[in-house]
Amino acid sequence: MLAISSFGPRNRNIVRLWKRTVACSSAPERGVGGIYPPIATPFTPTEEVDYEKLEENVQKYAKIPFRGLVVQGSNGEFPYLTVEERVEVVRHVRRALPKDKLVMAGSGCESTQATVRMSESMAQAGADAVLVVTPCFYRGRMDSRALIRHYTQVADSSPVPVVLYSVPANTGLELPVEAVVALSQHPNIVGLKDSGGDITRMALIAHKTRGSGLQLLAGSAGFLLAAYAVGAVGGVCALANVLGPQLCQLEQLCLSGSWEEARELQGRLIEPNAAVTRKFGVAALKQAMGWFGYHGGECRSPLRPLSEAEAKLLRKDFTSSGWL
Amino acid sequence: MLAISSFGPRNRNIVRLWKRTVACSSAPERGVGGIYPPIATPFTPTEEVDYEKLEENVQKYAKIPFRGLVVQGSNGEFPYLTVEERVEVVRHVRRALPKDKLVMAGSGCESTQATVRMSESMAQAGADAVLVVTPCFYRGRMDSRALIRHYTQVADSSPVPVVLYSVPANTGLELPVEAVVALSQHPNIVGLKDSGGDITRMALIAHKTRGSGLQLLAGSAGFLLAAYAVGAVGGVCALANVLGPQLCQLEQLCLSGSWEEARELQGRLIEPNAAVTRKFGVAALKQAMGWFGYHGGECRSPLRPLSEAEAKLLRKDFTSSGWL
Amino acid sequence: MLAISSFGPRNRNIVRLWKRTVACSSAPERGVGGIYPPIATPFTPTEEVDYEKLEENVQKYAKIPFRGLVVQGSNGEFPYLTVEERVEVVRHVRRALPKDKLVMAGSGCESTQATVRMSESMAQAGADAVLVVTPCFYRGRMDSRALIRHYTQVADSSPVPVVLYSVPANTGLELPVEAVVALSQHPNIVGLKDSGGDITRMALIAHKTRGSGLQLLAGSAGFLLAAYAVGAVGGVCALANVLGPQLCQLEQLCLSGSWEEARELQGRLIEPNAAVTRKFGVAALKQAMGWFGYHGGECRSPLRPLSEAEAKLLRKDFTSSGWL
Amino acid sequence: MLAISSFGPRNRNIVRLWKRTVACSSAPERGVGGIYPPIATPFTPTEEVDYEKLEENVQKYAKIPFRGLVVQGSNGEFPYLTVEERVEVVRHVRRALPKDKLVMAGSGCESTQATVRMSESMAQAGADAVLVVTPCFYRGRMDSRALIRHYTQVADSSPVPVVLYSVPANTGLELPVEAVVALSQHPNIVGLKDSGGDITRMALIAHKTRGSGLQLLAGSAGFLLAAYAVGAVGGVCALANVLGPQLCQLEQLCLSGSWEEARELQGRLIEPNAAVTRKFGVAALKQAMGWFGYHGGECRSPLRPLSEAEAKLLRKDFTSSGWL
């Protein structure tokens, strides 16, 4: 963790350099680039956080060449955690994860002041960076002006670097390109996780922020190859919770320009990815985790486990692609 | 406040009777029927809850023939309040409001267990009923099965009656008709606030729940007349924060069958209502409150005050309808 | 049929009077008010227009107290008819229908010039009025400016009065309120069929055009009662193809202020109506027509007949409401 | 033009070969791969088709290394042309275009039988292939079953190869992946123009049809690079009407694996492309054509020319990217 207070003048070169050496002593030149699973939060049968199983998962993930873990992305059921639980989960993950892996912690809340406080708490709990989802309840009024102000206040006060997070499927709101471009100038805003899957938008953002050092992360495995093609440097992919090595392999194929092989691998990942995200959601991800040797655990209510029929369809999406 | 534990058998007649005598010694035969403003939460310039101004507003509202006040509907900026503030605001409103007016408190959270706890806290703080918005972050999985289970658990444990709340503009989710019909059989679920404005749906719900005692409340002033026409018994209307007497007059015209006059009045309310809701949102409502002698106060960030141009347009929507 | 050229000055009183005495010697004071089935076009097994069965249907409909028939509304499969067929169908309907019933013919095309020509052809074929759907392929550019110009040109040249037609479920476009208000001043524009079901919008339109003589028709049976409550004077309802007498009865209950009975009847019509419209579409309407003694006939491709499972669900929507 | 009747058995290898040698003696191994402008239809001030200016445009386009021209894509205002005009425009284009360039003609209509006839007429007028948009008026019933049947009937009878066309922005409908996969087995269906921009979907289609010979064309310049990255072999891009050489250059950079340069060029094309498509539409494309030496001409009503303010914004989108 590097304190923002160590910054002097808003010199663009220094900022760009810093953005690239963010947060972590190992491989600082990568910045936040790389593959992350947005980890699930296992619950006990009585719906309490199962910290033991959480740590076991983390220890297994530590052996995969991930850049780090995202804690409390949309798959982490963070809207179902209390303020205290959100921080406690981050603390446990940080403790269980080797220091050379980044912890990127979701700290977004609806109000600016709650997000500021949560970002501070996450940093104190050991997060290397915070991932801040767009507030969305009053989405009709969350225009660029409001969102730029929100993120600027959060980034000004956050002890650790901020990654913007746009996930319209959950929020009904896309962080506008002009807001991303403006915010990319902030020294403490280092990246954008974009889960919308609009590749034209991602290409435009990459193009318009190319001088700022902002790093673009694909928010889903379905368009990881395409995202790399237009300039992304990593991905936060629910599917990495179950097919982590494969996603790291896809990353390598893209980085080395082996597009033919990359296409073949990407093609086989799309349907399993859809199955654990928009088709069946978090419960499917947790069920699939069991098949691949991880602890999924229960979902917290009102999320429900899959029906038997759904579980069969889910399994078919993995078998027909040859992963099970 | 009436404890749910006083219920014996789920006898439909008793349930219907009880649903109609809910919560309040004055006019028990009305149940939750009538007009409510979903009150705004005034903030100080430093964005703290301004309890003093809140109480002054409540005292003014007490003089209007409202059935009660809704505290922490969508206009109350409840997603921006901490858990403690949410309860504290209800406590202050209850204290400032005469006993013959109902306090209906928004207690919805994303998780079932948080909603259960919040409903208990709201009841302890003096709420006569709780208004429970649909959880929505994982909207793709919030089907009837999940929502029926969520609301049943909340209603089973809530010390005060529960009013369902469907507000797709904010949540991106409509509580399915079949879920409403199933839940209408629960003895502790007494009403539905429907803000979607789909009058066919409201007519169908009124028709399918006519034996259950469920009371239907229009969630917006724009379709109040039409809602009464299809069987609603009241309304929770943002516009009542500024044009309360007029909305109570519209209620009377509908109840007495003076449809011609009702239509004329309804017609003049639509544009001001749109202006303080979907067009300009909470900030507009607060600005208009100032024009009508109430304390609007600041919004909490990231909500922003209206621009000057917006404020002009807002004012025009009131002047052109003859209200200013 | 009354030629527009008989108009002199655009005197509002004359216009209002004329709008109310449009088109038809019988009951001229009703204007276009009343109930209409938007009739289906029966096809033979080889997908040719079955004019014989069409005329038999028309003769049966003539015995129901409809104001007239809409030919080539959305249920008439008009996008599947050639230019020549569209006119020929109108000619046959006019021939088979008694003179005291109106023929309102859908003449909307994508281009203004095609719509102008089609309106002329429809008038020559005997239409008393034309129903003009919003052009929609370039919906992103169909703003008020473009639509006002389109409808003005059509109305200027149409030999018979024009009824505006907004049906967002099919067109992805709602005719803006401001356009409706502007167009209501045109002496040859006499009504609006609104199928969107947004009752707030309908109430606002009724309010803002109350001085113009524009007559509002509900575009679906699901919100017919509510539409009357806010000021509509009739309805064009797919369901009238099968439950015509019942819809005329609902009209009478609304007009006579028997709201309690109207609500009961309206409630029973919503699910069958949904079944033959948005749920299963034209094929369902045609199947149900058979059950009620009319000729539905085939759909033209690519529309397909219902599957057996769908047909069962359709039937259940009629039996559970007591209509079969 | 190659008659479908020359097909013998549905042998996959023969089919694949044929699909790749479709339609044109020059460069048959490319199939339909390459860049196409979907040309605009210039109108005179009285809104008649301006065939002279159309031919002049075609002669200019002939000098750019396009694979051919798309006539009556969405930018061609085809919904505004009569049946006769649609065919006549194709005839003129074919006459003015050198034989080594393909003419791909939009022949989609709402009904299957009209589409069958139009495809025949287009082929007789000289089209090398037909581009068939999804019928959409009854979009709620246009499921895979209906669309597979529609396209199969069209492809069975079409004298020239068929390219599927999915353009949800105009049709409100996406051709389902399962329908594309099924249709890719048809010997006379050789390609898919996908304008939706959902790159995950395009990657999945490329993956699932990799054995069938179906060729994937990007339907917009905004995601051309990304489409090549996931397996597309060309693009039909409105922007090619004005920046044709640049799009052919982008094609070459992608085909040669010069991704760095490709990204830079792609980045500069996104905003001009958005401006002439979803932002301002056909009128903007026509206005920009004038700036680049082509005849845009009028739009046919109800499409309107840009306002002055819009034209300024349009120009800025070209100047700020360095194209003007």
Q: For Cα atoms A275, A280, A286, give the angle at the middle one, nearest 5 degrees.
A: 85
Identify all chain A residues contacting B280, using CB atoms and an 8 Å cutoff.
141
Amino acid of residue A85? E
Rg for chain D, CA atoms, rounded: 18
Amino acid D18: pLDDT:
54
Q: Across the interface, do C74 and D300 touch by the CB < 8 Å criterion? A: no
Beta bridge partners of D248: none
Amino acid D94: pLDDT:
98
Amino acid D21: pLDDT:
55
Query: What are A193's two structure tokens?
Result: 């996780």
Residue A25 has pLDDT above 70, yes or no: no
Q: Which of C199, C208, C210 sits opposite B226 (nearest CB)?
A: C199
Query: What are C194's two structure tokens?
Result: 């609104």
D25 by Cβ neighbours in 10 Å (0-12 / 13-18 / 19+) ranks as: exposed
Beta-strand pair B189-194/A129-133:
unpaired
Q: By CA distance, what is D265's nearest residue in A?
A: A207
Residue B200 has pLDDT above 60, yes or no: yes
Q: What's the pLDDT tens digit per position in B52-105? A: 999 999 999 999 999 999 999 989 999 999 999 999 999 999 999 999 999 999
CA B60 to chain centre: 18
Least confident of A218-227, A289-298, D15-24: D15-24
User: What is the Cα–Cα distance from C201 to B240, expressed in whole angstroms?
Assistant: 20
Q: Is B150 on the interface with A (CB under 8 A)?
A: yes
Residue B10 has pLDDT above 90, yes or no: no
Q: Is B17 on the interface with C (CB under 8 A)?
A: no
Q: Please tell me the distance in Å from D203's CA to the nearest CA on chain A.
A: 6
Q: Is B165 a catalytic residue?
A: yes
Fold of D4-256: TIM Barrel (3.20.20)
Q: Is C209 on the interface with B (CB under 8 A)?
A: no
User: What is the Cα–Cα distance from A126 to A98, expressed in whole angstroms?
Assistant: 12
Residue with tokens 């004359």: C14
Phi, psi (degrees; rounded to nearest 5) at D60: -70, -45
DSSP one-letter code for A22 = -
* Chains contacting B (3+ CB pairs below 8 angstroms): A, C
- pLDDT band, residue A285 (cuts 50/70/90): very high
Q: Please tell me the distance in Å from A221's CA to the nearest CA on chain B.
A: 19
Q: What's the pLDDT tens digit per position in A34-56? A: 999 999 999 999 999 999 999 99
Identify all chain B residues contacting A170, using CB atoms and an 8 Å cutoff.
137-139
Amino acid D1: pLDDT:
39
Cis peptide before A302 (omega within 30 of 0): yes
DSSP one-letter code for B223 = G
Give the H or E element holding residue D268: helix D259-274
Beta-strand pair A215-218/A234-236:
parallel
Amino acid B7: pLDDT:
34
Q: Across the interface, do B140 and A281 touch by the CB < 8 Å criterion? A: yes
Q: Is C278 on the interface with D (CB under 8 A)?
A: yes
Q: Please tell me the distance in Å from C242's CA to the nearest CA on chain B.
A: 19
Amino acid B27: pLDDT:
72
Q: Is A200 on the interface with D (CB under 8 A)?
A: yes
Query: What b/e string do you get for A108-143 counting C-beta neighbours within 10 Å, with b at 16 or more?
Result: bbbbbbbbbbbbbbbbebbbbbbbbbbbbbbbbbbe
Q: Is C65 on the interface with B (CB under 8 A)?
A: no
B73-B75-B76-B82 Cα dihedral, nearest 10 degrees: 90
Query: What b/e string do you get for A179-188 counting C-beta neighbours within 10 Å, with b at 16 or more?
Result: bbbbbbbbbb
Residue A270 has pLDDT above 80, yes or no: yes
Amino acid D29: pLDDT:
82
Contact status, residue A134 vs residue A162, Cβ threshold 8 Å: no
Q: Is B231 on the interface with C (CB under 8 A)?
A: yes
Q: What's the pLDDT tens digit per position in D46-59? A: 999 999 999 999 99
- pLDDT band, residue A135 (cuts 50/70/90): very high
Contact status, residue D299 vs residue D77, Cβ threshold 8 Å: yes
Query: What are A136's two structure tokens?
Result: 């969305």
Q: By CA distance, what is B218's nearest residue in C?
A: C200
Per-residue pLDDT, averaged over A305-318, amounts to 97
Q: By CA distance, what is D258's nearest residue in A?
A: A257
Q: Across the interface, do D204 and A263 touch by the CB < 8 Å criterion? A: no
Q: Across the interface, do B266 and C230 touch by the CB < 8 Å criterion? A: yes
Residue B114 has pLDDT above 50, yes or no: yes
Packed helices B199-208 and C259-274: angle between N→C axes, nearest 10 degrees: 110
Amino acid C7: pLDDT:
34
Q: Is C225 on the interface with B (CB under 8 A)?
A: yes
Contact status, residue A97 vs residue A58, Cβ threshold 8 Å: yes
Packed helices B112-124 and B144-157: angle between N→C axes, nearest 10 degrees: 30
Q: How many residues does chain D have?
A: 324
- pLDDT band, residue A29 (cuts 50/70/90): confident
- pLDDT band, residue A27 (cuts 50/70/90): confident
Q: What's the pLDDT tens digit per position in B293-303? A: 999 999 999 99
Per-residue pLDDT, averaged over A86-108, amounts to 98
Query: Residues near A71 by Cβ (< 8 Å), separated by ≥ 6?
Result: A38, A39, A89, A90, A93, A103, A104, A105, A106, A127
Q: Is A233 on the interface with D (CB under 8 A)?
A: no
Q: Residue C162 region, left (φ>0) first, then alpha (ψ -120 to 50), else beta?
A: beta
Helix locations, chain B, DSSP H: 12-20, 51-61, 83-96, 112-124, 144-157, 168-171, 177-183, 199-208, 224-230, 244-255, 259-274, 282-291, 308-319
Contact status, residue D285 vs residue D73, Cβ threshold 8 Å: no
Query: Residues near C2 by Cβ (< 8 Å), separated by ≥ 6?
Result: C22, C23, C160, C161
Per-residue pLDDT, averaged over C74-78, amounts to 94
Q: Is B48 on the interface with A (CB under 8 A)?
A: no
Which of the residues A121, A138, A145, A310 would you substitute to probe the B interface, choosing the one with the greatest number of B C-beta atoms within 10 Å?
A138
Q: Write down the mean pLDDT value for chain C.
A: 93
Q: Across the interface, do B263 and C204 touch by the CB < 8 Å criterion? A: no
Query: Residues near D133 by Cβ (< 8 Å), separated by ≥ 6?
Result: D74, D106, D108, D165, D167, D170, D171
> From the CB coordinates, do chains B and C have 3 or more pairs under 8 Å?
yes
Query: Residues near D21 by Cβ (< 8 Å), separated by ≥ 6?
Result: D28, D29, D31
Q: Is A229 on the interface with D (CB under 8 A)?
A: yes
User: What is the Cα–Cα distance from B33 to B28, expressed in whole angstroms?
Assistant: 10
CA C236, C238, C242, C246 dihedral sign is: negative
Q: Provide the CB-side half-sphere exposure for B269 (13 A, CA).
A: 28
Q: Across the interface, do A79 and B111 touch by the CB < 8 Å criterion? A: yes
Contact status, residue D51 vs residue D83, Cβ threshold 8 Å: no
Q: Is C259 on the interface with B (CB under 8 A)?
A: yes
Catalytic residue among B19, B53, B101, B193: B193
Q: Is D166 on the interface with C (CB under 8 A)?
A: no
Nearest residue to D22 via CA among D3, D49, D41, D46: D3
User: What is the Cα–Cα distance from D234 to C4, expressed in whole angstroms?
Assistant: 53
Q: Please tell me the distance in Å from A181's CA to the nearest CA on chain D.
A: 14
Q: Is A149 on the interface with B (CB under 8 A)?
A: yes
Alpha carbon distances (Å) from D259 to A228, B215, C301, D256: 10, 62, 45, 8
Contact status, residue B69 vs residue B93, Cβ threshold 8 Å: yes
Q: Across the interface, do D304 and C170 touch by the CB < 8 Å criterion? A: no
Identify all chain A residues contacting D231, using CB atoms and an 8 Å cutoff.
263
DSSP one-letter code for B297 = -
* Chains contacting C (3+ CB pairs below 8 angstroms): B, D
Contact status, residue A240 vs residue A265, Cβ threshold 8 Å: no
Identify all chain C residues contacting D145, using CB atoms and an 8 Å cutoff.
304
Amino acid of residue A246? Q
Per-residue pLDDT, averaged over A119-144, amounts to 97
Give the H or E element holding residue D180: helix D177-183
Amino acid of residue D99? K
Sheet of A68-71, strands arranged across: A34-36, A234-236, A215-218, A189-194, A162-166, A129-133, A102-106, A68-71, A38-39
Q: What's the pLDDT tens digit per position in D153-181? A: 999 999 999 999 999 999 999 999 999 99
Amino acid B3: pLDDT:
37
Q: Across the interface, do C303 and D110 touch by the CB < 8 Å criterion? A: no
Beta bridge partners of C163: C131, C191
D29 by Cβ neighbours in 10 Å (0-12 / 13-18 / 19+) ranks as: exposed
User: What is the Cα–Cα distance from A98 to D78, expressed in whole angstroms?
Assistant: 62
Nearest residue to C296 via CA among C322, C276, C312: C276
Q: Is D53 a catalytic residue?
A: no
Q: What whole-number percentage of chain B has pLDDT above 90?
A: 90
- pLDDT band, residue A16 (cuts 50/70/90): low
Q: Across the interface, do A270 and D203 touch by the CB < 8 Å criterion? A: yes
Q: Which of A207, A259, A267 sits opposite D204 (nearest CB)?
A: A267
User: What is the Cα–Cα distance from A110 to C172, expressed in whole angstroms?
Assistant: 32
What's the 3-state SS for B299-317?
CCCCCCCCCHHHHHHHHHH
Q: Which of B146, B149, B303 sits opposite A141 (nearest CB)?
A: B303
Residue B168 has pLDDT above 80, yes or no: yes
Residue D16 has pLDDT above 90, yes or no: no
Q: By CA distance, what is B230's nearest residue in C?
A: C263
Q: What's the pLDDT tens digit per position in C168-184? A: 999 999 999 999 999 99
Q: Across the interface, do A79 and B141 touch by the CB < 8 Å criterion? A: no
Residue B9 has pLDDT above 70, yes or no: no
Residue A258 has pLDDT above 70, yes or no: yes
User: What is the Cα–Cα distance from A192 to A20, expressed in whole angstroms?
Assistant: 14
Identify all chain C residues contacting D111, using CB atoms and an 8 Å cutoff.
79-81, 300-302
Nearest residue to C175 via CA among C200, C212, C148: C148
Identify all chain D residues contacting C300, using CB atoms and an 8 Å cutoff.
111-113
Query: What are D50's two structure tokens?
Result: 């301006």
Residue C9 has pLDDT above 60, yes or no: no
Contact status, residue D239 vs residue D269, Cβ threshold 8 Å: yes
Say if residue A236 carries a ligand binding annotation.
Answer: yes
* Chains contacting D (3+ CB pairs below 8 angstroms): A, C
Which of the residues B303, B307, B310 would you substitute to probe the A interface, choosing the one with the greatest number of A C-beta atoms within 10 Å?
B303
Amino acid D220: pLDDT:
97
Q: Is C80 on the interface with D (CB under 8 A)?
A: yes
Alpha carbon distances (Å) from B239 to A254, B220, C196, D189: 55, 8, 24, 57
Query: What are A223's two structure tokens?
Result: 């368009």
Which of the residues D47, D48, D111 would you substitute to probe the C interface, choosing the one with the greatest number of C C-beta atoms within 10 Å?
D111
Identify all chain A residues contacting D254, using CB atoms and an 8 Å cutoff.
none
Residue C322 has pLDDT above 60, yes or no: yes
Q: Which of B146, B149, B282 sits opposite A138 (nearest CB)?
A: B282
Identify all chain D residues contacting C304, using CB atoms and an 8 Å cutoff.
141, 145-146, 149
